[in-house]
Structure 1
Amino acid sequence: MLRKVAKIIVKYRVAFALISIFMLVVSIYGIQNLRFESDLRSMLPEGHPAIEDYNTFQNEFQSSDSALIVVKVDSIEPRGVYDIRDPQVIQAIYELEQRLRQREYVTDTISIADVYMQVLGRLPETEEEAKFVLNMLPAETRSQLVSRDYTTTIIVVTVSREKNSKTLTRVYKEIQADINDVKFPKNVEVVQTGNIGITYRILELLQSDLNKTMAISFVLVLGLLLYFYRSPVKALIPLTPLVFGVTMTLGAMGLLGIPLDIATTTIGAMLIGMGIDYGVHVTNRCYEERKRGKSIEEAAEEAIAETGKALLGAALTTVAGFAAMYLSSLPMLHNLATTLILGLGLAALNAVVITPAVIILEEDVMKRLKGHYEVPEIRSHSGILREAFRSLGEGIRRRPFTFLGAVFLITLVFGYGVTQVTTEVRLEKFVPKGMPEIEALKDVRSDFGGQDELYVLVKADDVRDPTLVRSIYRFENEITADSYYNNVFDSESIADIVVEKYGYIPNDEEKIREALKDYEGQNLVSPDYSMTLIKFTGDFGGVSINDFRRIMSYFEDAIKTADFPPGVSLSLTGDIYLNYVLDSLTNEEINRISAYGTIFVILIVLILFKRPKVSIAMITPMFLGALWTVGFMGLVGIPFTQTLAGVISMIVGLGVDYGMHLSHRFLEEREKGNPRPIVTSVENVGPGILVGALTTAGGFLALLAGELPTIHDFGLTLAFGIFASVLASYLVTPALLQIFYGKDPGGGSR
């Protein structure tokens, strides 16, 4: 069947090439429609209770985002200010607030300038006057506005919830423009942070990382191809179908509306790394057949027919590993699976269709220029590299159990690393350390106790019921009393409003209605009084991942055991809690995706080869590569993130390919009656696998240039997974095949 297809491809190569070029043009149009996404809600499954509560929280309470502007004295240069209470600083803060309040999306601002306007009716004229007013405030209130050393203050800007990345970017840039337009005195630094600042930075880095990692992976792959093929023209042959495949994939993402997020931003570099493998194998086999004296058309047909079998198996198992991500409940992994499967499918198709056409075209042009054609001497097919693989094949043929023993020792080391793996899903942890937004957020947490907000959504027939209000007040005080444990430094609820008005909570519902009438539909109470919020502020996201889980678990237990009237329901919500839900889901998805990915790959191998022994030789390195990769993550401290939740499934899908290429060549040599099929297989296929693995890992390692830590970790983990899978394939697959078939070198079918 493949031979018939190969003949058609070679015969109508020009037509197939023209079709690919047309698809390329359409894809370039699609790329213009690509969009970037960093909304936390898009990472969680629809219908999840936490999402439903969050949407209720958004719709009923006119929820908003907050931009924190940190104003800090960051130097002690002469003729500058040294205290945040300097009238010049307060004047600049007031001017910035006035500018911000003119923006249609800004609903409120809070700063120390507001305190002076309320107390004095004007801004302070001297530093002594400024100090006097602040000293009048209760210590608890003062600590929420200025740091203890009076070098830092914050402006809290409340903005209407931004629905998409374009709007959020506009908001961030306009707020930043207002900051830049206000002249703050010397020694004062002003930094925008909070949800909007961090999300904007992530969006900015997503775009720059996509372009940077794609460019670097392309250069790395091209450099490796130049080394192995010894000619710029020859190096471009396997690269051409790859360029087609990557462009078509990005174009399809734009046309299908698949966003570039924290996971799919890696797609360009990944496809360059993985997709080149297909073109390399077709090109190498074609040159190998030309060396044996076959015509260019015959060599191309043989390359497609023989290599196509292994490529088909490799593509199917890789797709099977990636397809397991569809079983995840996380939409982000669905998008990643779609783009990877689409990209690899297009890369494989273009490798089979475009590569022969380019090889034949290149040979025709060289004949016309030089009058003759010389079969290229590929570096991987000669010299020290070939001798090294021949020696490896001989060593495995003579002492297969020795090599398996070495593999066992390696597995013990990485087995320990598996026990050290953790997870991390908080968005702020995805921004590189040292970024101004993150450093400013650290200042907020250290100087002001944190500005993270966690909400308890209370649902009842009427939240103005005195018994319910009293329960809210009691619950709120119980939580704040445990501040040493839960990191809460402030709270707010309708109970506080009632107590502030009366000094106590009356049993008369009419009095409570009177106290709350100005809060209808605003911040704390829904318009129909069926829901209310209890807001807790503190440092929840800046702690270690274990403390973060402990704090969130504390709140979950607290609302389960809270003493509220019958019929009242409580649930946690807010961005911080969504991070916690995502963390829990990620831990669940890792095991499920990995298990199903492995099962899918094993089934594909068994269906394609129908030989249990050969299948075991193929899939054992796959297991080892995945195990060693997880162990590596634990040993170097790389946590599982939303992006890395599917990494085991990906390694499984990719890792089986190398054992498959070796096993397929072994069976081919064995059918020909080769008395040393192991040696021939390792000698001839080993170098090609190395070239493919180096280019694949090169594409992944290009992700190290990304500034987002999660993309950096993703590239390092996948690159290690590739090398681990290759090493396991070199050592385990030939050793097992030698053990299973060493005494039966004939063409048996077991």
Structure 2
Amino acid sequence: MDAYQRVIDWVDDRIVNSPGKIILLFLGLTVLFVGGLGNIETETGQNQFIEDLESFEALEDIQRDFGASFTSGSTSSTTLLQDSQNVLSKPTMVRLLRAQERVENQHGMRVESTSSPAGVVARTLDPNATTLQEEIDAIEGATPAEIDAAVRTAAERNPGFTNQLSDDFNRRAASAAAAQATITHGTSDIPDRADRVRRVVSTAGQDIRVLGSQPDTISDSLVLVLPAAFVLIVVFLVVAYRDLVDLLLGIATIVIALLWTFGFLGLAGIAFNPLLVAVPPLLIAVGIDFGIHAVNRYREERAQDQDIERSMRITTDQLLVAFFIVTGTTVIGFLSNLVSAFPPTQDFGLVAAIGIVFTFLLFGVFLPAQKVYVDRLRRKYPLPTISERPLGAADSALGRALGGGVTIAKRAPLAFMLVVLVVTGGVGYYATGIGTGFSPEDFMPAEETPEPLQSLPEPFRPPASYQYVENYNFREEKFDQDGQVLLYVEGPMTRDTALESIYRAGADPPPTFRRDDRRAKSQSIVTVIESRAAADPEFARLVARNDRNDNGVPDDNLDEIYDALLDSPAREQALSFIGEDRRSARVVYTVDDSADDVATTVDARAVAADHRFDASATGFAVIFQDATAVLFEGVVQSLALSLLGASVFLIFIYWVLEGRPSLGIANVVPIAVSVAFVVASMRVLGVKFNAFNGTILAITIGLGIDYSVHVVHRFADEFEERPLMPALTRTIVGTGGALTGSMLTTVFGVGVLWLSLNPAIGVFGILTALSVVYAYLASLFVLPSTLVLWDRVANSSRSADPMAGGESSTSTPHESLTED
């Protein structure tokens, strides 16, 4: 104990005796960290959360082996959506083909290939049409009856044809209301690609739209949310500080904490990802709490007619320890995210932990040094002082209101805690039913931003709508919602059994797979061979000669089969299903998109196991299910590590500092209550754990411990000098005022994230605000009764009536210092 006290005394001396040097040192470090701000890079999108999954790696293998059919790092694709009364009519198909041709002819677009229903119909009319102009000629030279016949033939021979048409496609009438087309570019580095394509295709027809890319709403959200948060925080800080100079010192210290944290981000080379949007509100929340506690505790001593130096020594002597405990437990909570399989979550845990350490140093040392320096100036110069009264004084209305938890603890602590235990148990059981999910929609803004936001002035006014979301919703509405499962098959595709293995795996498909007769509805090199054989009699004879069991699938001389296929107009289609080295294949199965991802993934892996070669299942359903499983595992591990790590740390630290390790257990009780209520609230609100809010439990523990530590540590100090109930009353009234100011400021400052255009950030703001409210209520109402029962057990104090919670008639403060 003496060792840590010597360290605190040394810091106290520097704060009181050399505040100017401390201020200069911290400002110098600020200049250093500001230099790192220019190095910050940004990562967006969901790929960063799934790129390390085996199923995603299988998708990357498919991208590598089958080139233009999938967008890889060296290529990119643009999706066109056509909306018309009948996209299969002659003039409509010509417009779509001309739009593709104009993009192909545009300088710098590097078009490698195009795909559209119109192109399929054109090649059905003229198998020798290999260019877009030849396809246009084929359509324009055909009669309406020939076009209708070609549509029906294409639908019969080419399963992929109907996938590019809306789900109202009528084969008999040869009509559909919408079509999709894809343009593949030879590079991913085309500036403003979507906008340039949009301008070009608009010259071909107003019924063609460009899907574009998912918007990055982080910048739009920050521009909107941060000013609103700043205004709300300043308003509440004005109420909390009630002094202009103290207000400016507190805000300046918060700003420096943010500069240090994000400067570290740039210096360490950590990319800014969507999860890190939550770091500023968290640091602001903890900074507000530390600042209000520091100033309020200092004012309490000044109100007792203590001088500046003595008041600050008492303040830092007590609060440095409390801040250290809060920092240690909060850092443990955030670092528990390092067990996550998602790199962005790991980065969030690390950056948040570093930010909390910075906040501890700034508010534990820098702010007190500023306060001493400024108050000394006030003695020399007429600087304005509006109020030095502590927040929540005992004779104030707030001070009287804060005593409710103490009253319960005095009258019926055991009965109250039994009720809390039963309610928390029920709430916790209900919380176990919360779901997990992982979807691109988690990061997608609304199609139109709320009208009130449109009345904001520039630059705060967000876009009125997001065209990508409008187009995305159009595609979801118009096109068949059947999903796809992809199999990446590795092995020598020239072996006699290779194609039979692919064919047999589709027999008797599992429930989530769509059926075509008794077989799974699929696309593969086998279906390409079947389609080509139906269109080319010579190729059909070649297949028949090498088909041992007459099932239409060749068994012998597969190299010869592939050579003939690649020399035909079906070359491009064939290469989208078999690797050029003929050592891998891609199989696409159609699945029920409304089916549960768990069932779809289980079925996909069962089908993969039926292949004779190594086969890996992938596709969005499989990848997102894997991500969900990893997410849930990470949430559970993070929660366990946070609670266990924080409990061990608190037990150890209270043993070292106070000689009362059991105080650490009492400290954790309100945290457990808060966690149960937060998760239950998520279920009530219909919020699932996803990649973004999966960190909320670590945050709840971190912020909750912040509140309860201030109460417990203050109580430990007060309990050394006075009996149980007076110590508890002084603690709750004195610390509760600062907690109230901190809670209100944080709830409104963080809750403003609800305005974010990114729904994941908005939900995160609501959950964080709820966690703060629950932590506050638990610290002020659950913790007093917990401490009374702790005293009875740890110090063998008893009242005459155990249910009354009154003070022991025999216990004295001195007798309660040592645990049994």
1:32 counterpart letter in structure 2:
G
5+ residue gaps in structure 2? 1-5, 72-76, 127-133, 169-174, 448-465, 534-538, 541-551, 792-806
Distance 1:288 1:70, change over 3 A: same
Shift of 1:517: 4.4
Structure 1: how far apart are the matches of 2:211 and 2:278?
Answer: 28
Corresponding residue for residue 508 of structure 1? 556
**Secondary structure class of the residue paired with 2:690:** coil
Counterpart in the other structure of 2:685: 636
Offset at 1:22? 2.7
- After TM superposition, the structure 1 = structure 2 runs for residues 290-309 of structure 1, keeping only pairs within 5 Å, are 290-309=302-321
Amino acid at match of 1:150: A
Could you say which structure has the larger radius of gyration? 2
Q: In the superposition, relative to structure 1, how do residues 455 and 740 fare at CA in structure 2: closer, same or farther (>3 Å)?
A: closer
In structure 1, how many angstroms separate the alpha carbons of the residues matched to 2:638 and 2:186?
37
Aligned to 1:316, the other structure's residue is in SS state helix
Asked if 1 retains the 8 angstrom alpha-carbon contact of 2:485 and 2:617, the reply is yes
Aligned with residue 67 of structure 2, among 46, 62, 65: 62
Counterparts of 2:781 and 2:187, CA distance in 1: 56
| Worse overlay, 603-612 or 31-40 | 31-40
Are residue 448 (structure 1) and residue 515 (structure 2) matched? no
Q: Is residue 632 of structure 2 the alignment partner of residue 587 of structure 1?
A: yes
**1:15 corresponds to which residue?**
21
1:227-249 deviations in Å (ceiling 9; x for gaps): 22223433222222111011111
Greater mean deviation of Cα atoms: 652-661 or 311-320:
652-661
Q: Is 1:218 matched up with 2:230?
A: yes
Provide the rounded CA distance (Å) in 2 between the counterparts of 1:622 and 1:574: 40
Give the secondary-structure state (helix, strand or coil) at the position aligned to 1:749. coil
1:449–1:539 CA contact under 8 A, matched in 2: no
Indicate which of 434, 437, 440 corresponds to 1:424: 437
- The DSSP-based 3-state class of the residue aligned with 2:35 is helix
Alignment check: 8 A CA contact 2:600 2:621 kept: no
SS of the residue corresponding to residue 370 of structure 1 reads coil
Task: Report the Cα distance in structure 2 between the residues aligned to 1:706 and 1:100, rounded to whole angstroms.
Answer: 36
- Structure 2: how far apart are the matches of 1:443 and 1:391? 55
CA distance in structure 2 between the aligned counterparts of 1:602 and 1:160, rounded to whole angstroms:
56
The residue identity in structure 2 corresponding to 1:617 is A
Name the SS of the counterpart of 1:190 in structure 2.
strand
CA displacement at 1:637 relative to structure 2 = 0.8
Q: How does 1:240-255 map to 2 (within 5 A)?
A: 240-255=252-267
Secondary structure of 1:525's aligned partner: coil
Q: 2:499 — aligned with what?
A: 469
1:262 maps to 274
Aligned mate of 1:524, from 560, 570, 577 = 577
Q: Contact 2:254/2:287 (CA < 8 Å) preserved in 1?
A: yes
Superposed displacement of residue 724, structure 1:
1.2
CA 1:145/1:569 → structure 2, altered by over 3 Å: closer, same or farther? closer
Q: 2:81 corresponds to which letter in structure 1?
A: V
Partner-residue secondary structure (3-state), 1:380:
coil
My pick for the range that moved more, 498-507 or 669-678, is: 498-507
Distance 1:536 1:158 in 2: 23
Summarize the Cα distance change of 1:712–1:511 in structure 2 as closer, same or farther, 3 Å threshold.
Answer: same
Between 1:345-354 and 1:182-191, the stretch displaced more is 182-191
| Secondary structure of 1:387 counterpart | helix
Task: Tell me how far apart the structure 1 counterparts of residues 510 and 419 of structure 2 sit (CA, whole Å).
Answer: 57
1:571 corresponding residue in structure 2: 616
**Partner Cα separation in structure 2 for residue 524 and residue 679 of structure 1:** 74
Separation in 2, partners of 1:624, 1:127 = 75
1:156 aligns with 2:182: yes
Deviations 1:417-472 (A, max 9, x none): 31330011122342134354345334434433248553211111x21223111221
Q: Secondary structure at the match of 2:274?
A: coil
AA matched with 2:439: R
Q: Give the match for residue 729 of structure 1.
A: 779
Displacement of 1:403 in angstroms is 3.4
Residues 88 and 185 in structure 1, CA contact (< 8 A), matched pair in contact too: no
Partner residue of 1:108 out of 89, 103, 113: 113
2:98 corresponds to which letter in structure 1? E
Structure 1 residue 355 displacement after superposition? 0.9
Match of 2:801 in 1: none
Counterpart residue number, 1:77: none
Equivalent residue letter for 2:116: S
Deviation sequence 1:121-143 (CA, Å, 0-9, x none): 43699999568614531246664
- Quick one: which of 399, 410, 420 aligns to 1:407? 420
Aligned to 1:702: 752
Matches within 5 A, 1:587-666: 587-610=632-655, 611-666=660-715
Q: Deviations over 1:179-201 (max 9, x none)?
A: 134336887362415xxx23xx2
Matched, 1:376 2:388: yes
1:713-743 per-position Cα deviation (integer Å, ceiling 9, x unaligned)? 2222222112112211212211121233342
Q: Distance in 2 between matches of 1:371 and 1:36?
A: 44
Greater mean alpha carbon deviation, residues 307-316 or residues 737-746: 737-746
* TM-superposed deviation, 1:45: 7.2
User: 1:423–1:639: 8 Å Cα contact kept in structure 2?
Assistant: yes
Aligned 1:134-145 pairs, distance under 5 A: 134-138=148-152, 139=155, 143-145=162-164
Q: 1 or 2, which has the higher helix percentage?
A: 1
Once the two structures are overlaid, the 10-residue window that deviates more, 605-614 or 616-625, is 605-614
CA distance in 2, matches of 1:126, 1:573: 41
Give the Å deviation of 1:86: 6.3
Aligned-pair CA distance for 1:485: 7.9
CA distance in 1, matches of 2:484, 2:695: 30
CA–CA separation in structure 2 for the residues paired with 1:308 and 1:574: 52
**Deviation, structure 1 residue 386:** 1.2
- The SS at the match of 2:261 is helix
Rate the CA distance shift 1:110–1:56 in 2: closer, same or farther, 3 A.
closer
CA distance in structure 2 between the partners assigned to 1:208 and 1:185 by the alignment: 32
Residue aligning to 1:534: 587
Whether 1:749 and 2:780 are equivalent positions in the alignment is no
SS at match of 2:79: strand
The 1-side partners of 2:428 and 2:110 are apart by: 53
Aligned to 2:49: 43
Separation in structure 2 between the aligned mates of residue 554 and residue 718 of structure 1, nearest angstrom: 38
Partner of 1:671: 720
> Of 16, 21, 31, which residue of structure 1 is paired with 2:37?
31
**CA spacing shift, 1:154–1:738, aligned 2, 3 Å:** same
Q: Check 1:598–1:99 CA distance in 2 against 1; reply closer, same or farther (3 A cut).
A: farther
Gaps of 5+ in 1: 74-81
- Whether contact under 8 Å (2:692, 2:760) holds in the other structure is yes
Percent identity between the two aligned chains: 20
Q: Counterpart of 1:5?
A: 11
Q: How many angstroms does 1:353 deviate by?
A: 2.4
Q: SS of the counterpart of 1:376?
A: coil
Query: Partner letter of residue 275 of structure 1?
Result: G
Q: Matches of 2:654 and 2:507 in 1, distance apart? A: 67
1:310 Cα offset (Å): 0.7
**Cα RMSD (Å) of the superposition?**
3.2
User: Which residue number in structure 2 is paired with residue 79 of structure 1?
Assistant: none
What is the identity, as a one-letter code, of the residue corresponding to 2:818?
S
Partner in structure 2 of residue 133 of structure 1: 147
Counterpart code for 1:723: V
Range with bigger deviation, 403-412 or 323-332: 403-412
Write the distance in 1 (CA, Å) between the matches of 2:812 and 2:757: 53
Count of residue pairs brought into register by the alignment: 717
Change (3 A) 1:125 1:321: closer
Deviation of the 1:638 alpha carbon: 0.7
Q: For residue 340 of structure 1, report the CA deviation from its aligned partner.
A: 0.4
Q: Which residue of 1 aligns with 2:197?
A: 178
- CA distance in 1 between partners of 2:677 and 2:515 (Å): 38
Kept in 2, the 8 Å contact 1:622–1:655? The answer is yes
**1:268-298 CA distances to partner (integer Å, 9 max, x unpaired)?**
2222223322222112112222112222233
**Separation in 1 of the partners of 2:432 and 2:145?**
54
* CA displacement at 1:505 relative to structure 2: 2.4
Pairwise CA distance, 1:671: 0.9
Report the AA paired with residue 604 of structure 2. Answer: F
Residue identity in the other structure for 1:427? P
Q: CA deviation at 1:318?
A: 0.6
Deviation at 1:323, TM superposition (A): 1.4
SS in 1 for 2:616: strand
CA distance in 2, matches of 1:385, 1:211: 35
